[in-house]
């Protein structure tokens, strides 16, 4: 019965923490106000008034748990009025490319990837393209990784993150790498995860100093390399790049996105800076 009231778009991995905090504060205020009003009117004893206030807070907490908010319209108001600085405090800043934790990165992806022969100047335009030999090697490795699957501990080792007890969880289309209860990495889709796992294996084989790269630098290199994917890593067809409006629990963001044409899987999103 309770499932009829659940709003999955605003709960679990999609929960907006600013909305939750705001609505629970409202619930506490309502409970306290009710208790005070009951006592003031003499309609019940102080103990009964407190019990009524606690009941209001408890019922409100259940509603927020199931629906993500108590006051209708809270998610829309949060998107419209909360600044990025506030969203950042709750880990809800508009999302950029997939990331992995591990400190600051000072790596220059273009220089490293060019130096290792992964990318090179395009033959037909002033831009960078994936080198043909690296493309072939990457596609071969992607096929191997796709067939074997991506294990959480193996992916953590690729990123130089403590691997014990690391798991990969699904959160809608996204894939989340967790160490115990801590978030340590995220990809927008299984296709992006497979692409990064295969790319990490190639870079480890081709870079003599791969061990010296921090988790953040490795994540930046893999995200940068994923910009050049032209064939969907988990299905047939190519990759389409275009501008989109991305809706999350707490924000609306204009992004440049790369998407698998056949499966609809997102490979990367890059916010368009105004």
The 3-state DSSP class for residue 157 equals helix
Same domain, 84 and 131: no
Same domain, 84 and 154: no
| Any domain includes 265 | no
Same domain, 113 and 195: yes
State how far the Cα of 170 lies from the Cα of 199, in Å rounded to an integer: 21
For 82, phi then psi, to 5°, come to -75, 125
Same domain, 224 and 113: yes
Instruction: List, as one string, the DSSP characters of 138-153.
Output: HHHHHHHHHHH---HH
CB 234 within 8 Å of CB 218:
no
Residue 216 CB contacts under 8 Å (≥ 6 apart), including other chains: 100, 101, 102, 103, 104, 105
For the chain, 274 residues long, give each residue's pLDDT as a single digit of tens: 445 455 555 556 556 666 677 767 777 887 777 777 766 776 667 787 778 778 877 877 776 666 665 665 555 544 443 444 444 443 444 333 344 444 555 789 999 999 999 999 998 888 899 999 999 999 999 999 999 999 999 999 999 988 888 999 988 888 999 887 778 888 999 999 999 999 999 999 999 999 999 998 999 999 999 989 989 998 778 998 877 665 555 556 676 788 999 888 989 877 665 5
According to the model, what pLDDT value does residue 97 have?
35
Same domain, 60 and 178: no
CB 232 within 8 Å of CB 249:
no
Domain residue limits at 225: 99-235
For 6, phi then psi, to 5°, come to -75, 140
Same domain, 125 and 42: no
According to the model, what pLDDT value does residue 252 have?
62
Is the CA virtual torsion 153, 155, 157, 163 positive or negative? negative
According to the model, what pLDDT value does residue 26 have?
77
State how far the Cα of 230 lies from the Cα of 1, in Å rounded to an integer: 46
pLDDT tens-digit profile of 1-48? 445 455 555 556 556 666 677 767 777 887 777 777 766 776 667 787
For 115, phi then psi, to 5°, come to -65, -30
Same domain, 10 and 57: yes
| Any domain includes 172 | yes
Same domain, 77 and 28: yes
């Amino acid at each position: 019965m309770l499932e009829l009231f659940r709003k999955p778009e605003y709960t679990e991995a999609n929960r907006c923490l600013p909305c939750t905090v705001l609505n629970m504060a409202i619930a506490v205020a309502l409970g306290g106000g009710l208790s005070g009003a009951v006592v003031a009117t003499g309609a019940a004893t102080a103990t009964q008034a407190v019990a009524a206030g606690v009941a209001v807070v408890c019922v409100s907490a259940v509603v927020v748990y199931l629906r993500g908010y108590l006051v209708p319209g809270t998610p829309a108001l949060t998107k419209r009025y909360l600044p990025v600085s506030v969203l950042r405090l709750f880990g809800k800043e508009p999302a950029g490319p997939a990331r992995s934790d591990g400190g600051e990165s000072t790596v220059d992806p273009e220089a490293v990837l060019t130096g290792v022969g992964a990318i090179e100047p395009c033959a037909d335009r002033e831009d960078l393209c994936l080198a043909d030999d690296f493309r072939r090697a990457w596609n071969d490795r992607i096929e191997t990784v796709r067939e074997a699957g991506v294990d959480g501990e193996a992916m953590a080792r690729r990123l130089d993150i403590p691997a014990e007890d690391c798991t990969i969880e699904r959160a809608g289309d996204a894939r989340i790498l967790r160490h115990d209860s801590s978030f340590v990495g995220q990809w927008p889709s299984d296709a992006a995860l497979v692409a990064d796992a295969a790319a990490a294996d190639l870079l480890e084989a081709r870079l003599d100093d791969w061990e010296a790269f921090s988790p953040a630098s490795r994540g930046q290199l893999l995200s940068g390399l994923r910009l050049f994917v032209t064939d969907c890593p988990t299905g047939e067809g190519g990759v389409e790049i275009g501008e989109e409006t991305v809706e999350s629990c707490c924000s609306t963001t204009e992004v440049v996105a790369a998407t698998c044409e056949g499966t609809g899987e997102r490979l990367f999103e890059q916010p368009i800076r105004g």
